[in-house]
Each structure stands twice: as structure tokens, then as C-alpha cells.
Structure 1
Amino acid sequence: MIHDGHIHTPFCPHGTKDSLHKYCEAAIKHKLTGITFTEHAPLPYSFVDPTPEQDSGMRWDDLEIYLKEVNKLKKEYKGDLEILVGLEVDYIEGFEKETTIFLDEFGPELDDSILSVHFLKINSEYVCIDYSPDVFEQASDLLGSIDSVYKLYYQTVLKSVQKDLGRNKPHRIGHITLARKFHKKFPASNPFTGELSTLLVEVKKKGYELDYNGAGTVKPLCKEPYPFNDVIQDAINLNIPLVYGSDAHQAASLLCGYSELSPQATFVKPAKLRN
């Protein structure tokens, strides 16, 4: 009985144009009990997306349409598939106020949501850390070492957990080891055990969930889930709720990496479905 809590849509400017219905039909074919559409939220108005196509988040003009379309699907598939409407919200250091204002306005319309880090602030500029190996290498040059990129990523994820983003702050933290997306090419010399332990303890203290994300298993320079097995075992020992996420950007990627996740992991439905 699996709920896939991390799914993108045709509203994602860097994904496929598979229809929402195609995702739903694929979910039913895979016998999923439910799904959460978690499209990349629009980025803050004053934030300049550093990616070449500036396509990291959905367009502001699409947000209301997205919410309306997913809510229509809930009724259409009632009894066959539990559908939640959600967003993957970026935590961007320095833009906490704008993010809080966004969540104050749109959070009440969401069933479920994820808070993720993709952008690192380096020397007053921002780098999309998972965009490409070349961008990761540029970040390591700016910071002086590969280890420094990992360290800054974990520090930023910790801030995302700790910061007050208002009453509608997402309670699931996305792919906490995304810094390892290219680790086969850019391995760290430090396991960052202490940083990851501190992060998990803070997630536990806040009562948050973890996105146990299978997407990294199919990335050629990663080949492991986010987070990887040692970290997941620590999360299990802390009784942190784990929500499976395929991070699918096309319907064919539903259940991505599921078979390669830790057999010790027990998955829960998102908090909305557990309340």
C-alpha cells in the first residue's frame, strides 16, 4: 500500500508534458493507494533563477490553474485513487520573508507540501546545486573545495528546518542529501556524519517528515536514494516518519527507485492523510 508523495506535472517547465490524467492512470496501474502532486512552487518575485532557462519553478500565472486542475482530479478519481494537491517549495536563504508571505496566501489551499533546498547562496549569488556536474564544479571552485559544497548544502537544509516560515510551512523535508547527486564524480572526503546527525535530530524535534526519494537511484553519477541507507537507518532509529517519493517528472517514473530503498523502512502516508 504505497503513497507516492513527490510527483511533478506538466506545469513543471523542466519536465515532460505528460498530462495529469496520465500520471493518475499510471498510479492506478501500479496499484498506488494515493499520490501527491508537488509541483515546484513559483520562485519569489525578487529572486533571479540562476539556471540558464530560468525554469526551476512553475510560472506564477500557472499556479491557480494548477491548483484548480488537481482539485478537479480529486473528484474525478474519488474511490480509485487518493489525490492530494501540494507544492515543492524552495527554501532560499535570504528569501524567508517572501516565502512566508507566499505560504500564508497559498498554504491553506494545499493538502500536502515539501520544503526543499536546490539553491545555495555563495558570495551573495545563488547556485542551483543539482543543475549539472559543471555547475557543481563551479560551486566547488567558488567555495574552495568539494567538501565545502556538501557542508554548505547540509547547513542550508538545517536552516530550512529551523526557520519560522509561518503556520503553513511544509512539514516534509525534501531530498536532504541532494548534494550527493554527482558524488561519483565529485566525492567528498568527509562523510559529514555529524552534520547529518544534527539535521535528523532537528527534524525529529520539529515533528517533521522526511522525503525518502528514489530519484537518485537512476542518476548516473549518484546511484543511491536521497537520503542514502546509513542516513535512513539513523532516521528509522529516531522514528522519523518517512514518505516515499519518486520525484517523477514524467508518468513513467512513478515508483522510481522504490525497489532499491531500505527494506527496514516503513512508509507512512503524508500527515494530511494520517490526521
Structure 2
Amino acid sequence: MNVYDGHVHTPYCPHGSKDDFTKYIERAIELGLTGLTFTEHAPLPAGFHDPTPHKDSAMKLEHMEAYLQQIKELKKEYERDLTISTGLEVDFIEGFEAETKTFLDTYGPYLDDSILSVHFLKTAKGYHCMDYSPDVFGEMIDELGTVQDVYALYYRTLKRSIQSELGAYKPKRIGHISLVMKFQQKYPNLKLDKEMIRETLDLVAKQKLHLDYNGSGMNKPLCREPYPPRWIVEEALKRDIPFVYGSDAHSAKELGQGYVNLMKEAPLNQPF
């Protein structure tokens, strides 16, 4: 495939598969990938209570040292076969910026690459994992009023993440910028505020950040398009925002997912 996959999860993900690192790596070599970044969900910030039913949104803090050490060893073992980078997918959670900065100050020096994503949204009733299930998304619509209100909250939070002061090791790539569209087949947004999304892209460009071109949405039955879709890609390219392809694989078989369709959807004349 001659593609770099910049968004790959691992056996440390509590809600993913138990495929070990070598299974991912051997699959990447089989596919002909040039390299990959392991971007496990970073431990949630101290004091934040995971709102998901099984409390399985992210790896545990006590596993961080083992995670970093395993990847370090694998880099050496496979250095002739594949470029392997050490990374994390870090959650931006409104109200926990200081705790997130402290975490990044501690572990950032050991990372080659990282992604900053928004999964959790804060409402009057507390925090919700927006993309956990259609039911949770529906509950947020009921609380906030309309599907447009959920989108507005997502993009307000995303803008805060882009502008946040998270220190020297703040991730340079924004994850799945249209994740709020995951359940759009069930909850269509018939009054999509495109200007709100363009403003978000303006901030990405101003901060000189990159975007995750994420293939996993293609395989989500209620989404069926990449994160982001073509029109957002085109707007991003007008602003010279770089993209990095990511499968968002949670199992070895998902490596490279969506890539061929992504290139048909919005071919990018730039390296990944």
C-alpha cells in the first residue's frame, strides 16, 4: 500500500481486541505499510470519572511504563522492516486541561507522535462519551434540544482543544474532526452549520496543526463516510492543513481500513 498509518490502537485498549503488538506489526508488513504509529488511548486525567458503562475508554496509568517499553523494544526488533513510532491518542476534556498538561509534561518526552481528540462532552448533567453509542447520542439530543445543539457543543469543545495551552508536548494532530457525525444515518443534521466547521479549520491552520484522515467512519454502519468527509477535506486543503491517514484500528485486521475508499472520496496529492 505504500502508506503510513498514523492512528493504531493496541492490546492496551480496554475496549479493543487483544491482538498483540506483533500481530499488528506483521499485518502492517503484509500490507506493505511504510510504518505506523501506535496511538493508544492515553490514561484519562486524574479526577475524571469515565462515564461509559464499563469504564473502558482508555488504558490505565499503571500500564504506561510497560506500553512505552514494549514499543521501544519492538522498534529495535523491526527497525529493518517497518518504521514504528510511539504515540498516544490524548483526550481533551473540558475542565481537565491542567491535569492533561501534567500528564503530557511527564510522558511527552517519550513520544514520537500523538493525537488530540474529543470524545467526552460536558453538559449540565455531567460528561458524556459522545461516540459511545446511538443511545448516548440520543440522550444528549434530548438534553440539549436538537441534533444541531450536540454538533455545536462538539465543535465548541473541539475549538477549545485546538486553542488549549497543554504545554510543549501538546499533540500536533487533531483526531477525527467530524466524529460527531458517527451516527448521522440515525440522527441526520439537516441544518449543518458549515461555517462553524470552517472556523474550526481556521483555528487548526492558525495553530499549524495536522488532521487525522480517519478511515474508520467508512465502516461504521450509521456513518458510512470518512472522518472528515470530502467537503471538509477540501476546505482543509484550501488552508494548507496537512493530513495523516489513520485506520483507527482496534484490531490487526483493521489496519489500512478505509484507505482505498478515502482516496476515491477525496484524493490527496500529498504524502501521508
Mark yes or no: TM-score above 0.5: yes
- Confirm or deny that 1:174 pairs with 2:175: yes
**What percent identity do the matched residue pairs reach?**
53
| Counterpart Cα distance in 2 of 1:22 and 1:266 | 31
**What are the within-5 Å matches in structure 2 for residues 5-24 of structure 1?**
5-24=6-25
TM-score of the superposition, structure 1-length normalised?
0.96
CA positional deviation for 1:154: 1.0
**What are the within-5 Å matches in structure 2 for residues 1-275 of structure 1?**
1-123=2-124, 125-261=126-262, 262-269=265-272
CA positional deviation for 1:264: 2.6
| Counterpart Cα distance in 2 of 1:104 and 1:263 | 36
CA contact (8 A) 1:243 1:267 kept: no
CA positional deviation for 1:79: 1.5
CA contact (8 A) 2:233 2:266 kept: no
Aligned residues: 269
| Counterpart Cα distance in 1 of 2:251 and 2:187 | 27
Which stretches in structure 2 are left out of the alignment for 5+ residues?
none
CA positional deviation for 1:61: 1.2
Residues 46-89 of structure 1: per-residue CA shift (max 9 Å, x gap) = 00000000000101111110010011110000021000000000
CA positional deviation for 1:265: 1.2
TM-score of the superposition, structure 2-length normalised?
0.97
Partner amino acid for 1:139? M
| Counterpart Cα distance in 1 of 2:11 and 2:85 | 16
Runs of 4+ in 1 over 4 A off after TM superposition: none
| Counterpart Cα distance in 1 of 2:33 and 2:102 | 34
CA contact (8 A) 2:43 2:59 kept: yes
Change over 3 Å in CA distance of 1:113–1:267 after alignment to 2:
farther
Residues 210-238 of structure 1: per-residue CA shift (max 9 Å, x gap) = 00000000000000000111000111121
Query: For 1:188, what is the secondary structure of its paired residue?
Result: coil
| Counterpart Cα distance in 2 of 1:121 and 1:267 | 36
| Counterpart Cα distance in 1 of 2:271 and 2:77 | 24
